[in-house]
Structures are given as C-alpha cells and as structure tokens.
Amino acid sequence: MNTVLKPTALFIASILTSTVALADDNGTDRPIEEISVWGTAVRASSLTLQDDAIAIRQADHISDLLRTIPGVDVGGAHSLNQRITIRSMDDKDLRITIDGANQNTYMYHHMGNLQIHADILEKVDVEVGTNSVVDGGLGGAVRFKTKNAAQLLESGDTIGGRIQASYGDNSGSSLAFTGFAQLGENWDVLAYVNQVDRDNYQVGGGEIKTFHGDVYPGTDGVVRGLEGELSDMLIKLGWDITGEQRVELGFESYQDEGDYSYRPDMGLATDLAITNSLQIPLLWPTEFTRDTLTLNYDLTLSDHTSIAIAAFTNESQLQRDESGWAQNSAFAAYAGQVTGTAENRGLNLLASTELGSHMLTYGAERIRYNTEYESIYLVGGIDQSSETATNTALFIQDRIQISDRFAVIPGVRYDQYDVSTVVVNDEFSDTTFSIAGEVNITDSVLVKLSTTELFKGPEVGEVFTGAGLYDTANPGIEAETGRNNEISLAYQGEHFSAGVTFFDTEIDNYIYDYAPTPSTVEAGYWKDNIGTMQLDGYEAYVGFEQGGLNALLTFSQAESELAAFTPFATLDGARLDRQQGDTISVNLDYHFDSPNLTLHWDLLSVDSVPSGLDLDGATLNNSKDKFTVHNVSMRWTPSTLESVSLTVGVDNVFDEYYASQSSRTGLSLHPRFGELYLQDFEPGRNIKATLSYAF
C-alpha cells in the first residue's frame, strides 16, 4: 500500500474509543488499513497515523511515535525518561499497558513510567482523555502492542526474519534481529532482540547556555550522562487451538545500563551545579530492568461474541551504585547500593457481544501493585520499605444504534481500591457512569457528545526514594474523582478530512505529592487533596490526500487551573507543570511509485508559556520558550530487491536549541546551590540512516 499517512475523521476515531479498539484486539474487523510487515501503526481518538509514516521517522524514542498526535507529548530526552503526557497530565494519571500488562510504576520522580523501544511495536492505541468506563483512570490510556509471528509472516511463508542496522551521528547506533516461523499448522514463534548503543548528544547550536544566555562554564555543547547500552528482547509463542481460539505466551526483557546523571530529567547545568557544590561524581552507575510475562487467550464464540483474557506479571527494577557519595566525607553515610522494585500482577477480561441494535462491551480486571525499596550502606546498616495496593473493577458499556444516523453509548464501572502505604491504609470504592451520543448529520459529517465520570485512589509512594519510607501518614486523604466532557465534530470526504474536539475536564480532590505542610504536622513532604483541577482546550486536524501526496495539519491547546481548598490558598490558580503552549504540527509525505520512494517532512511548533504559578515547576522563572523543529527523511525500497529498504533523514534540520515543554524547564533558586537551570535540552541536528533486510 502506497499510503504513508492518512488522517482519519472523528467518525472513524469514534470507533477507536475503548469499545471497538479493544474489540479489535479480539479479532474483529479493524477500522484502519492493513498494515505492512515492519511498521508501527499509531491510532488515537483524534486521528490515525499509518505504519509507514512511523517507519520513515526512524523512531528511537517514544516521542518520535507520539508527538504528532494532537494533545499528546513525550517529555524527557534521556532514555530513562520517556514521560508521556496527555492534555498536560503526566503518566501517573494515565493507563499505560504493553500487550495488556499494566506499566504504571511510579519508580522515580526524575524518570518516566514507561520504558520500551519503538522498533518492537506493532501498534499503539492512544485514548486522548478518558471517554469510556472500559479504561478508567483520569487522563486517558496508551496501549502498546508488540509484534508477533502471525502478523509478520506473509501469505504462504512458514519462516522469515529481518536484520536492521541504524546509525545517528548525534544519537548512537542499534542492531536488531527478528526471526519468526510457523511450526506446523497451529503453532508460531517469534524471537526478537535489539541492542542499542546510545551516545551523549550535542544540543542545538553546539553550546549549553545559562538562563541568562552565557555559555555554561565547563561545557562544550555535549550533554554528559546519556551514554549507555540498551537491550530489548522478546519471545512470543502462539497456539491456534482452533479457528476460534488462540493462546499467546510472551516474555519481554528490557535493560538500560550506563553511567548516568543522578537526575535524568534535569539538564546538565543543574547536574553540574549540584555536583560542583557537593563535590560528588557527575555520573553514577545505573541499571534499569523490566521483565514482562503475558498470557493472552482469545476466543470467538460466534459472529456476535468475542472474549479476550490476559494474565500478566510485570517487574521493574532500578539499581544505582551510590558509593560515590563517599568522595565527600560529609556525605559518606549515604554511600551504598540503592534498589527500587515495582511489580504489577493482574488479570483482565474483555468481551463484546452484538445483540441486534446493541453492541455490548463488558469485562473485569484485577491489578496488584507491590513495591520494595532497599538501600545497603557501605558504613553499615540497611533501609527497607514496601507498600501494596489492589484495584478490582467491573464494567459494562452498550452502544445502542437508535437509527441509521443516531447512536447512544451508556456505560457503568465499579472500582474497589485497597491501598496499604505509609500515607494511608484504607479501602476506596466508587461507581462511575458515562454517556455519549453520536449523530451522523450526513454520510460525511459526524457530531459526538460525551461525558464520563472519573475515579482514582491515592497511589503507592515513589519507589526509588524509599517506597514510602520518608512519607508522612495522612489517613484523611480522599480519592480523586471528577468528570470529562467532550464535543466533537468531523468531516470525511474522498480527499479531504477535518475534525475538532473540545474538552472540559474537572478533577475533584486533586492529589499533590508536595502540598504545603499543615502547621500541626512535622513532615518534609506532605501528600494531600489540594483542590479542584480544571482542564480545558481542544484538538483539531485538517488532512488532504491526492495521488501520492498526503498532508496533515494538527492544532492543540490545553490549559489547567487549580481552585485550591482554603488550607492551600497559596496554590490557588496554579497550573500543571507539564502544560504546553499552543501546538501546531505539519506532516507532508509524497510517494513515487517508481522508484518506490517516499519523501517526508514534518514540523512541530510550540508557542511560549508565560511565567505563572504552577505545581512542581521552577521556582524563580517558570516561563517556557517557544520552539519550532523540522525533520526530513526519505525511504527507498528497490523494486528489484523488495527485501531491502533504506531510510535516511535529518532530525532537527535547523539545529534548534530547545527543550520540550513537557520536560523539566525553567530556572529555580536553591538555598545551597544557587540558580539551577533545569532545562532538559533535546538533541541538536541528528543525521540518521537505517538499513534493513527481510528474508
């Protein structure tokens, strides 16, 4: 298929909401075009990007996959800090899964909650905002699905594979191998391994500057603390029991190791300021591992009912050798080995049944969270702590087709959340409802209106800083609740499409980990409900395709404001720290049938954000600079040798000196270290090439 990027109107996007997007995983018809062997399809509730559009980007960070989606960003330039945000809400407020395995593990506030390499993915489904009772959560969901042999084998083949090598002059290199085979009539197997060698990169313009515009002393434009080795391995075994039943067992092992900066989400200027003041090392031996085991069972009972059951265990571990503290005798007591472990175990069931004009989606899930912290000090002594939480949910949603042009989608969900932490030991439960209506005004125009109630209990504490060891009890803390309201309008023509979604989200009893401490409490940090967080904005797109040309223009805006409770009046009016300025993206692709060549250009332009009160942002100046980044690439598959493909491109063509506004930004004032410029700068110009051979 020559189509590289196809914008999809909201009447298709409405199909991509939880009800049918999950049913797709159960084997029902897919609402997008058939994907090719080696790409990654990205689908969102706002638009769809086809697989080749992602492959041509040579994605080596999740941001390369998701930043084009309006309302979505990925902050953090470090390999440990792939931090997804949706409408300014960070990954703690999202549901993130890989092959159905829950990935929400609040490991460390200086890194993200997701670690995966883009090359391993078959597709990504993004729910921008919580619009269904199926997922739960506050801000939306991101579902990653890895490749499998059944998807990769071409018709008539019983064995195949691929070797791929990539190189970036300002990023590093990687080598990936995949082998897959059909074993008899009913069994298939896939083995994948990817080794990535990451380099320290140079920032745009080749100079690391202070907030005031001077070159930071002791720097040469290269960000230290990024160089390391990353490996990702996947084994999948599939068994087609019958034509209606399939079992799939998967094991993925991810490892990221290197001498990294102490705070992967902060810029080199901050690390140097703290290092020089405390006389401790700049780099620390660090290793992150994630092992995920999944067992999936899919059953089609009839043309009208399908069932998917997934059981999983997911363990993440962050280890750091902190013996470097001993270089300064004043901090020798902190020297040792620190380990944080977070484990998620769960079972979920999802079913869909069509009964006349009703399409029912229903199911249940149970997730158990276990966290452990251990610090073994060189001078003797051990600190240990652990916390647990369990969430159990039941849900049902019905799509009722009232007429050819009108449908109503009601839903109900029940959550029971048991948590045992230092902050709170309690049980929280709630029943939430949703209702949506869709009207096809014409065959090309659709309007959708929805409202969904929200619920989230107080989560377990941050793992790597003690798993609650240094938290303070607050038995009166309450669960977060709220509502997400949306209205969408879309048009889909033969060559032209357009759509816009307006949203209004309210989160009551918003929980802040660093709330001002009450006068009656002695605590370094205080976690509490601080008020009602209001978010509103829109996502929009305009698309055009004709012949080999595909064009997509997107817009997004999200603003947040806290209505604080009286005890926290100093926070009234504060915005979320991850809030971005108004964002525009442009994507242009042109495919030439001969010589089977595709050209690509994309632009991301983010407006500035003025200084203002926020939660957890920079303390001296938290304004955010605007930026515009251009990327170009081309992909060629010789018609005489279709098993070979070559992709070359340039990221950040004009060598922009910038930081994502979803990353750490701004200037803080510290009583000991002085001014700390937090800016987590992105790479400068990066020339990349990828050569792959499929057999």
Identify the bridge partners of residue 598 per DSSP, sorted by sequence position: 591, 635
Q: What is the DSSP annotation of 594-614?
A: TTTEEEEEEEEEE--B----E
**How many CA atoms does the CB half-sphere of 510 hold within 13 Å?**
29
Residue 50 burial (10 A CB sphere; 0-12, 13-18, 19+): buried
Q: Which structure tokens are listed for 565?
A: 């409770």
96-117 pLDDT, tens digit each: 888 888 887 789 999 887 777 7
Whole-number Cα distances in Å, 342 to 99, 368, 483, 617: 18, 11, 30, 26
Q: What pLDDT shows up at residue 50? A: 52
* Angle in degrees, CA 679, 683, 684, rounded to 5: 110
Strands (DSSP E) contained in 356-444 are 358-377, 382-403, 406-420, 425-440
Q: What pLDDT shows up at residue 44? A: 64
Angstrom distance (rounded) from CA 37 to CA 152:
5
pTM of the predicted model, to two decimals?
0.90
Q: What pLDDT shows up at residue 36? A: 29
Q: Is the dihedral of CA 581, 564, 449, 348 positive or negative?
A: positive
Report whether pLDDT(642) > 70: yes
Angstrom distance (rounded) from CA 255 to CA 259:
14
525-583 pLDDT, tens digit each: 899 999 999 999 999 999 999 999 999 999 999 999 999 999 999 999 999 999 999 99
Q: Which structure tokens are listed for 189?
A: 């197997």
Report whether pLDDT(16) > 80: no
Peptide bond into 683 cis (omega under 30): no
The one-letter amino acid at 329: S
Whole-number Cα distances in Å, 409 to 133, 149, 349, 399, 438: 11, 35, 20, 4, 8
Q: Which structure tokens are listed for 288?
A: 């992150």
CB atoms near residue 519 (< 10 Å): 7
Q: What pLDDT shows up at residue 303? A: 86
Instruction: Read off the pLDDT of each residue in 488-497 and give the average, rounded to a whole number.
Output: 92
**How many CA atoms does the CB half-sphere of 639 hold within 13 Å?**
6
Instruction: Read off the pLDDT of each residue in 588-608 and give the average, rounded to a whole number.
Output: 93
Q: What pLDDT shows up at residue 37? A: 34
DSSP 654: T
Q: What pLDDT shows up at residue 618? A: 95
- CA proximity to 508, closest of 539, 492, 544, 484: 484
Scored b (16 or more CB within 10 A) or e, 191-215 reads: bbbbebebbbbbbbbebbbebeeee
Report the DSSP pairing between strands 575-576 and 614-615.
parallel
Using DSSP, how many helices (H) and how many strands (E) does the chain show? Answer: 6, 34
Report whether pLDDT(2) > 90: no
* Angle in degrees, CA 191, 21, 144, rounded to 5: 35
Report whether pLDDT(35) > 90: no
Angstrom distance (rounded) from CA 409 to CA 364:
19
Distant-in-sequence, close-in-space partners of 666: CB < 8 Å, separation ≥ 6: 617, 618, 620, 621, 622, 623, 624, 678, 679
Q: Which structure tokens are listed for 314?
A: 């997911």
The one-letter amino acid at 418: D
Report whether pLDDT(5) > 70: no
- CA proximity to 246, closest of 349, 365, 150, 182: 150
CB atoms near residue 67 (< 10 Å): 21
> The domain 10-694: what is its CATH number?
2.40.170.20
Q: What pLDDT shows up at residue 489? A: 94
Strands (DSSP E) contained in 118-227 are 121-128, 140-146, 159-168, 172-183, 187-198
Angstrom distance (rounded) from CA 111 to CA 103:
14
Question: Mean pLDDT of all residues in the chain?
Answer: 89
**How many CA atoms does the CB half-sphere of 199 hold within 13 Å?**
15
Angstrom distance (rounded) from CA 567 to CA 296:
48
Angstrom distance (rounded) from CA 39 to CA 596:
16
DSSP H/E element including 310: strand 305-321
**Structural domain boundaries in the chain:** 10-694
